């Protein structure tokens, strides 16, 4: 407990130092504050118009008249697609595309929403109730990030106590430093902003989930934590594979009596099912589609790649793999003579210790569960419409990074100077990101593969 408190304090100091003046006021992208305020007013739709156009979901509620009203009813909800040559094409929330000429358009109301899972907003409700729109999402994110430093150490220590890992306390501290300061966790922790807040809060509940899920020990607590994790980051719903794998495919799971195994299955699944159904109902109430959080309605539904290909498509695969694995800075002929891409940077540059995953000193059954779950969580990210733009490194890696660090712990490679050097290198690289991202504009450019075209 004492070590955990110290680690929380260290994390708080480090993240606060990098956040610096950002701690004085909320970020410009405090979407979750708007959503918490809407919840306090009993509304799913925002009760205050967003102060800019960046990553809010919206659609229009359009009254119809003339022939359109006779054909489609008194009103429709959706957006004009703005496809070249089809100025009157309107797509409804149900996905139907219809023509509405200007003469048939009546009163039009734009409705605004937050397109991200609402978990962080729910947690902000007490702060927003007390402070209102002045709620500081930067401080909120820093506090959760500091908690994550203690949580990853507790998780690694648990692996040692349960006999899965042979790592010492000192080695677990090195791996804690790797995760907390040598990955995207460092620079994502110091910004506030809706995208990064969601990632950091998702990490918090993901780590709590893993702590209770190892050996399928505490199913109800594991399920509740995972439910909060995917209520913050939708992709984390796939992390349930880790619990089910241990329950039904591991030696310890198969050794359980069938009645006990199914009891743990029910206890774990119950909170996930309850929260999952609430999220589906939340989506359906806003967008008439249980699976739609609102990303299809970013930029009023007119973002070309989403409109043409949807949120998930194989056309996005090469760009995402490039951003995650092979994207590197480029040399330019003007100061500062190096340019980073806002699409990110290869994981092997930002967290070089990950190369050691390819040569573990031993094999372990739990490592396979970690690896499989990491792959399952990463797979939908690989086909997602967005590389993570704007970012310093591949920020979506935080959704599966706990499993990769777990594999490094179980892999039992000696904590040599080479290993420590790779960890330190990752800390230094991500410190550059924490210090420069959204601060030194001239350092960042746009180089990347072109957008897919239909």
At residue 334, the pLDDT reads 86
Closest CA to 30 of 133, 145, 143: 133
Distance CA 397, CA 184 (A): 8
Residue 56 contacts residue 50 (beta carbons within 8 Å): yes
At residue 450, the pLDDT reads 54
Distance CA 376, CA 405 (A): 16
At residue 191, the pLDDT reads 97
At residue 274, the pLDDT reads 98
At residue 449, the pLDDT reads 53
Domain range annotation of the chain: 2-26+118-445, 57-113
Distance CA 10, CA 427 (A): 14
The dihedrals phi and psi of 298, each to the nearest 5 degrees, come to -65, 145
Residue carrying the six token digits 């929380």? 8
At residue 413, the pLDDT reads 94
Q: At what angle do helices 401-411 and 137-161 cross, to 10 degrees?
A: 30
Tens-level pLDDT at each residue, the chain (454 residues): 899 999 999 999 999 999 999 999 999 999 999 999 999 999 999 999 999 989 999 999 999 999 999 999 999 999 998 888 899 999 999 989 999 999 999 999 999 999 999 999 999 999 999 999 999 999 999 999 999 999 999 999 999 999 999 999 999 999 999 999 999 999 999 999 999 999 999 999 999 999 999 999 999 999 999 999 999 999 999 999 999 999 999 988 889 999 999 999 999 999 999 999 999 999 999 999 999 999 999 988 888 898 889 999 999 999 999 999 999 999 988 888 899 999 999 999 999 999 999 999 999 999 999 999 999 999 999 999 999 999 999 999 999 999 999 999 999 999 999 999 999 999 999 999 999 999 998 899 988 755 555 5
Closest CA to 374 of 276, 254, 280, 245: 245
């Amino acid at each position: 407990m004492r070590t955990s408190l110290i680690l929380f304090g260290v994390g708080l100091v480090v993240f606060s130092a990098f956040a610096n003046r950002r701690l004085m006021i909320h970020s410009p992208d405090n979407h979750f504050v708007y959503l918490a305020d809407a919840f306090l007013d009993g509304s799913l739709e925002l009760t205050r118009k967003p102060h800019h156009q960046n990553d809010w979901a919206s659609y229009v509620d359009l009254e119809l008249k003339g022939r359109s009203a006779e054909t489609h009813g008194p009103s429709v909800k959706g957006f004009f697609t703005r496809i070249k040559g089809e100025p009157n094409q309107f797509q409804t929330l149900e996905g139907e595309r219809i023509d509405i000429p200007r003469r048939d358009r009546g009163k039009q109301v734009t409705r605004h929403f937050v397109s991200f899972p609402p978990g962080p907003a729910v947690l902000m409700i007490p702060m927003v109730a007390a402070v209102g729109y002045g709620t500081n999402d930067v401080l909120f994110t820093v506090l959760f990030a500091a908690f994550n430093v203690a949580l990853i150490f507790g998780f690694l220590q648990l692996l040692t106590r349960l006999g899965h890992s042979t790592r010492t306390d000192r080695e677990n501290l090195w791996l804690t430093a790797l995760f907390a300061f040598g990955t995207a966790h460092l620079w994502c922790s110091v910004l506030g902003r809706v995208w990064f807040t969601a990632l950091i809060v998702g990490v918090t509940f993901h780590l709590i989930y893993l702590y209770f899920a190892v050996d399928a020990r505490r199913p109800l607590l594991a399920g509740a934590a995972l439910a909060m994790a995917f209520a913050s980051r939708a992709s984390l719903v796939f992390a349930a594979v880790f619990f089910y794998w241990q329950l039904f495919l591991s030696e310890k799971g198969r050794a359980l009596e069938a009645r006990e195994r199914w009891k743990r299955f029910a206890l774990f699944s119950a909170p996930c099912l309850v929260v999952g159904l609430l999220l589906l109902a939340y989506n359906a109430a806003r967008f008439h589609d249980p699976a739609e959080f609102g990303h299809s309605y970013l930029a009023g539904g007119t973002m070309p790649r989403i409109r043409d290909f949807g949120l998930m498509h194989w056309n996005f695969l090469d760009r995402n793999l490039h951003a995650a694995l092979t994207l590197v800075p480029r040399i330019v002929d003007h100061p500062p003579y190096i340019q980073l891409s806002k699409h990110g940077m290869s994981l092997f540059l930002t967290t070089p210790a990950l190369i050691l995953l390819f040569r573990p000193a031993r094999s372990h059954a739990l490592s396979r569960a970690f690896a499989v779950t990491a792959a399952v969580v990463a797979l939908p990210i690989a086909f997602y419409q967005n590389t993570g733009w704007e970012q310093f490194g591949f920020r979506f890696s935080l959704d599966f990074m706990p499993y990769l660090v777990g594999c490094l712990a179980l892999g039992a490679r000696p904590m040599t100077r080479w290993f420590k050097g790779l960890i330190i290198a990752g800390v230094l690289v991500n410190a550059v990101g924490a210090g420069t991202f959204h601060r030194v504009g001239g350092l960042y450019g746009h180089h990347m593969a072109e957008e897919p075209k239909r």
